[in-house]
Amino acid sequence: MISRGTLLRIVLTTAAVIAAAVPAFAGPSDDDCLACHGDSGLKTDQGRPLYVDSAALGASIHGEAGIGCVDCHADLKAFEDFPHAPKLKPVDCASCHEEASAAVRESIHGRPHDGDKPIIVQCKDCHGAHDIRPAKNMLSHTAAMNIPDTCLACHLERVQTKRGQGFAALYKESDHYRALALAGLSLSATCVSCHGGHSVHPVDDPQSRVSRLNIIRTCGTCHAGIEKDYLEGVHGKDYAKDILDVPVCTDCHSEHDIRSPENLGSGVYATKVAAVCSRCHDDERLARQYGLQTSRLKTFSASYHGTASKFGEVKVANCSSCHGHHGIRPSSDPLSSIHPANLATTCGACHPGAGENFSKGKIHVVSEKTENRWAYTVKIIYIVVIAGLISVFLAFIAADLYRRMRTRWRH
């Protein structure tokens, strides 16, 4: 006779063998899901479409990798009766993409900032839902050609930035966007090129790629030669000392609406350069703190060059014509374009044949009386002579009128 313990072991072993032999329910197959979700008219009670394009899903990076619906919609594995519950758990992309998800959670898109609620940006808002493709694929939402519209889908209307809703849209006025959309240059800078992909941080965050601490390096990713020139110049050397008042790329070229200097709308168009430079060089606080000479805009505007520039002449010299663009150096530097040994060459760029005497004149004269006595003396003589001549002519005209009127009275 079999004992009770032996019988129990036989029953448990048999149950275990049967359980192992019968496959566990693994959830519905993709075909099961598409039996309903392949219907283009399928919607929620609120009218939200539930249709899944099977062709787009199959061509997606997940479809090509054989990842099924239940791999993302994991709670469907527990359902045996369909249709399933109307509300499912959110898809957890972090189960596969932990590193990217962690970066988003720490970014401006995923964490509270300034005491506000976090901006709820889900992976699908940028990458799409069922039609996710690699960024190199032209059909991808994150392909270079499509990134502007992907970002502007939120930043044009849904997101209120400190600079206003139209601030991000200015990118479409830039040369970067023209190169991208009109010339088809996918290497041109997009939102992601400057701000990053998952680790997007506000501009005042030291981690941000577009903070003042990092913007030179970010722009230098594409403009390496200009970055080198800048860092070798007077501005770049101060920048390397973490002096944040020093001008960086965006101070002169702006952030989104970056245009060629030949474009009338550019912040560094020839007739606007003096105003751009004067933001720092006429700032009294900066002048006191760093020992800068002020009144540069005033003295330039009073010169022949400045007067011609005010009237729209683009060929006349401006600040960058003499001082350079990115690699600006002090006049004491032998490599500077305004070093005394180089002035003849610098002036000669506009005035062919200009010799040493041509360039000996004082530039940016604030007070002619103390800085250039000869020029001041000539100016006073000129004023006296002109005033005297005008006075003589006025006296002559008055005397002539008096004579004529007196003659008329006599007759």
What is the tens place of the pLDDT at every residue in 206-234?
Answer: 999 999 999 999 999 999 999 999 999 99
Q: Which residues of 111-123 are buried (b: 16+ CB within 10 A; e: fewer)?
A: eeeeeeeeeebeb
pLDDT band at 11 (very low <50, low <70, confident <90, very high): very low
Assess if residue 34 is contained within a domain: yes
pLDDT band at 409 (very low <50, low <70, confident <90, very high): confident
| Percent of the chain topping pLDDT 90 | 63
Q: How many domains does the chain have?
A: 1
Assess if residue 284 is contained within a domain: no
Half-sphere exposure of 360 (CA within 13 A, CB side): 5
**360 and 372 in contact (C-beta within 8 Å)?**
no
Among residues 186, 88, 82, 96, the alpha carbon closest in space to that of 132 is found at 96
Structure-model confidence comparison of residues 88 and 358, the more confident one: 88
Assess if residue 173 is contained within a domain: no
- Please measure the distance between the N-terminal and C-terminal CA atoms of the chain and give it in whole angstroms: 167
Among residues 246, 248, 247, 242, the alpha carbon closest in space to that of 218 is found at 248
Q: Is the pLDDT at 115 greater than 80, yes or no?
A: no
Structure-model confidence comparison of residues 137 and 295, the more confident one: 137
Assess if residue 179 is contained within a domain: no
Task: Give the tens place of pLDDT for each residue, 235-264.
Answer: 999 999 999 999 999 999 999 999 999 999
Q: Copy the structure tokens of residue 151.
A: 């970002």
Q: Copy the structure tokens of residue 337.
A: 């374009």
Q: Which of 128-132, 155-159, 253-257, 289-293 has the lowest mean pLDDT?
A: 155-159
Assess if residue 218 is contained within a domain: no
CA separation (Å) from 406 to 93, 398, 401, 409, 411? Answer: 104, 12, 8, 5, 9
In this prediction, residues 167-175 reach a mean pLDDT of 92
Q: What's the mean pLDDT when you consider all of the chain?
A: 87
**40 and 51 in contact (C-beta within 8 Å)?**
yes
The boundaries of the domain holding residue 75 are 15-89
Distance CA 40, CA 49 (A): 8
Assess if residue 142 is contained within a domain: no
Q: How much is the pLDDT for 294?
A: 80
Distance CA 317, CA 273 (A): 10
Residue type, 217: R
pLDDT band at 135 (very low <50, low <70, confident <90, very high): very high
In this prediction, residues 350-355 reach a mean pLDDT of 85
Cα angle 127-133-137, degrees, rounded to a multiple of 5 = 115
Assess if residue 23 is contained within a domain: yes
Assess if residue 118 is contained within a domain: no
Q: Is the pLDDT at 274 greater than 90, yes or no?
A: yes
